[in-house]
Chains A and B, each alone.
Chain A
């Protein structure tokens, strides 16, 4: 028995424990904050998640021991959301983000290095900034170009395409078997799941 008159659904407890949005009660977080019984349930769910996190890494784990079956636990672990701790852990995210930054800098340097003039090379900061400034200016111009030219370009494309209505009829006729085959493939994969 619980002391709470409106106990949270276990799925909501798991959602709160994983820092996800609750499924059933939109005010679940606020309710748990003021209800010791439900806060305890959320804590239990969080403890279970933490336990599951360690299942795969646990050395010497074998069938027949206590806890979930390894195959099942592996599947649960694979698809569970990030915990709040994982989302906030710099150790998890900093490396890949830094890799992305290094890649960006390397690309910008390769793109810009041959163009550095003697004056630009006189200042290392300016030399490093030149390709980046050029890249941002080019990206901005490409975006502006696209926005300016798109309406007229689309209209012209549509005008030309409409003069080829036979192609449209052929596309429509081919779309029927292609769409049917796609729906069959997707239905088959859902049945497997």
Chain B
């Protein structure tokens, strides 16, 4: 994979000189003078207090408007928020906040997205709805790939530390590979590659989390019979979900479980059997 990335990077054309007019990585970006092009920020907050003639695209940061701030193009905020203001958004194009379900939900319910009491209740409710989706998805996967999850659970039980280590290294490797692809390859190559790495990480997490639910439930019920798998999965899920709702500790536990989940998926090769049957003619 590394050799392929190096080869592709060496063959790729250099980065175009027409870079976005204002960019920032990891530092708050304050727009106080007119910007003729786009504003792009990664892991940075953006404060717009001057006209921007292009688009504003923010990854992993919040956007705040000052009294002179106006965007002629579109505003896209990935994994962040558009912070409160007491006037309509001064954006001529479209405004999108992919991944920010809470703001859209509050808008649909005709509630002010910045109302703290509404946000708290709605966020808790949406979290529980998301957890119910987790359980339903895990049950569906268990229904169609029952023995794969059982094998993955056995594998995890035999080597917890190995699963944690494999998960940490797996997440790190995928992150580094995506970062290398994004920074060294042209968009036509880097985008599909980054999406592929992301998809592998998501698939591994979903598979591994269901295996953790199953293993935890089997421990709670002290029964590993296939007929008890759905109940065991629900019991394990209920335990982990309840912990995940605790402040601070819940986030830590769920994050560690996610890393272990990726490790379980890689370690068990998504629950494929360890031995293959040789076919002799």
Residues of A within 8 A of B (CB): 11, 23-24, 53, 56-57, 74-75, 77-83, 86-87, 89, 92-93, 95-97, 99-101, 103-104, 106-115, 130-131, 133-135, 137-139, 141-142, 145-146, 148-150, 152-165, 167-169, 171-172, 174-176, 178-179, 181-182, 185-186, 188-190, 192-193
Contact = CB atoms under 8 A, between A and B. Distances in A.
Nearest to A150: B98
A145 B82 CA distance: 14
A23 B143 CA distance: 20
A172 B127 contact: no
B135 A103 contact: yes
Contacts of B155: 189, 193
B25 A80 contact: no
Interface of B: 1-2, 5-6, 9, 15-16, 19-20, 23, 25, 38, 40, 42, 55, 57, 59, 74, 76, 78, 94, 96-101, 104-105, 107-111, 117-118, 121-122, 124-133, 135-136, 139, 143, 146-147, 150-151, 153-155, 158-159, 162, 165-166, 169-170, 172-173, 176-177, 179-180, 182-184, 186-187, 190-191, 194, 223-227, 229-231, 233-234, 238, 266-267, 274, 277, 279
A81 B2 contact: no
Contacts of A74: 224
Contacts of B76: 149, 152-153
Given A138-B104, A193-B158, A172 B224 contact: no
A1 B26 CA distance: 75
Contacts, number: 278
A97 B96 contact: no
Contacts of B20: 156, 159-160
Nearest to B158: A192
A174 to B, nearest CB: 5
B19 A159 contact: yes
Contact of A138 (B23, B105, B118, B194): B105
Contact of B184 (A82, A111, A112, A172): A172
A148 B223 contact: no
A185 B121 contact: no
Contacts of A11: 277
Chain B, interface SS category: helix
B179 A171 contact: yes
Nearest to A162: B15
A186 B266 contact: yes
A179 B108 contact: no
Contacts of A155: 187, 191
B57 A141 contact: no
Contacts of B150: 78-80
Contacts of B225: 53, 56-57, 77
A179 B162 contact: no
B176 A162 contact: no
A178 B96 contact: no
B42 A157 contact: yes
A152 B162 CA distance: 40
Nearest to B234: A96
Given A149-B98, A172-B6, A156 B40 contact: yes
Given A77-B226, A110-B128, 20 more contacts: A82-B147, A96-B231, A103-B131, A107-B128, A114-B122, A115-B122, A138-B101, A139-B101, A141-B104, A146-B98, A148-B94, A154-B194, A156-B38, A160-B40, A171-B179, A172-B180, A178-B173, A181-B169, A182-B173, A192-B158
